Structure formats: C-alpha cells, structure tokens
Amino acid sequence: MSRKQRVIRCVRDLLFLTGVVALTYVGFTLVEERLYQASANQSLMTQVRTEKNTYVTQLKPTIHKGDVLGRIDIPRLGLSVAVLQGTSSRILRLGAEHIEGTPLPGELGNSGVAGHRDTFFRNLKDIRKDDEIQFQTVDGLLRYEVDWMKIVGPDDTSVLQSSGNMSTLTLVTCYPFYLVGPAPKRFVVHAHRS
C-alpha cells in the first residue's frame, strides 16, 4: 500500500469517526430534550391539578433559574414547548426560556420568551396575525392574540420594552430560519392578552 493510500485511508477513517461522534451527540441532545419536555409537561400538569385542589391561599414560591414556568401552545402551528425561567444555553437546549428582566407571563408588562429556531420555535416561521398563543401556568391558561411579527437586529431590545398597563407576550428566535450557523437577525412575534 502506498503512502498516499494510507493517508487517504486514515483521513477516511477520521472523517467517519467524526461523523459517528457528531450523530451520537445530536441523537443524545434530541433524546434529552424530548424526555425533558415530557417530564416538564407532566410536572406542570401535576402542579395544575394540585393547585385546583388547594383552597388555601398561599404565597407564591420563589422562582429559580431552570424552574418550569409553564407551557406555550400555538394550536394552529402544532407548537408546544415548556418554558423555563432564566437564560442559558442549557435552558435553550431543553425548552424555551423566559427572558430575565421581563415580567412573568400574565403580569402587567411585556413578557419575553426566547427559543431556538432550529428546534422548538421552528414553526414560528408560519405564524400569522391574530393566531392564538396559549400559555398554561400553574395558575391557569393565559390566552394571547398575535399583533405583529418583525425581523430585527440581534441587539435590538426595544421589542421587549414594557407595554404599560397591558399584559403582552413577545416570542424571539433567530432568523433566517434555515440558515446553518449563527443567525444575523431575530424574528419577533408580539401578542396581547385576549
């Protein structure tokens, strides 16, 4: 076997091994996020049932980073994802994240929720004005109606500004949807409580 053939064989084997490792990582990530979503949904539904059966008014527990706040459903798009408190790459891998510094969903002001365009928020590409967004929390089901969608720069935080005396919801994901690698823009969906 010539030196050139050995080099080609070595490169081929290295590329094959790299592909196996990459596919294993992607597979593990997908399984982890699906299992987490199922667990978060079950936990939320258990909390909702417990809350309905509890008649004593209690103080709200402190919310910690990584806690499940609820679940967003957009029925027309078939989108359903658990929303976790806080912002981190791990939280974004497991679900959507409530953007720190914005009000909690249902409170007065503009609640921000971010998600990955290539996983949970992929279907946002098909959202339309007047679509219903449901946000299930332990306290009940919040309903929002889409006002507008727009594309902004990654540093444009004006879309998260407070809406005054209204309860609004802003969903944020990277744009364009089918770009491989870091996205240069953000796709924003704004909705008011209905």
- Say which CATH number the domain at 74 has: 2.40.260.10
Pick the most confident of 88-97, 142-151, 179-188: 142-151
The residue segments making up the domain with residue 26 are 1-194
Residue 82 reports pLDDT greater than 60: yes
What pLDDT is recorded for position 61? 62
Residue 92 reports pLDDT greater than 50: yes
pTM of the model: 0.75
Higher-pLDDT residue of 55 and 41 is: 41
Closest residue by Cα to residue 154 from 174, 139, 138 = 174
Amino acid code (one letter) for 110: N
Q: How many domains does the chain divide into?
A: 1
Residue 79 reports pLDDT greater than 60: yes
**Span 17-23, average pLDDT:** 86
Between CA 31 and CA 37 the distance in angstroms is 10
**Span 146-151, average pLDDT:** 96
What pLDDT is recorded for position 47? 67
- How high is the mean pLDDT of the chain? 87
Closest residue by Cα to residue 106 from 168, 41, 172, 188 = 168
Residue 36 reports pLDDT greater than 80: no
Between CA 40 and CA 95 the distance in angstroms is 9
Residue 50 pLDDT level (bands cut at 50, 70, 90): low
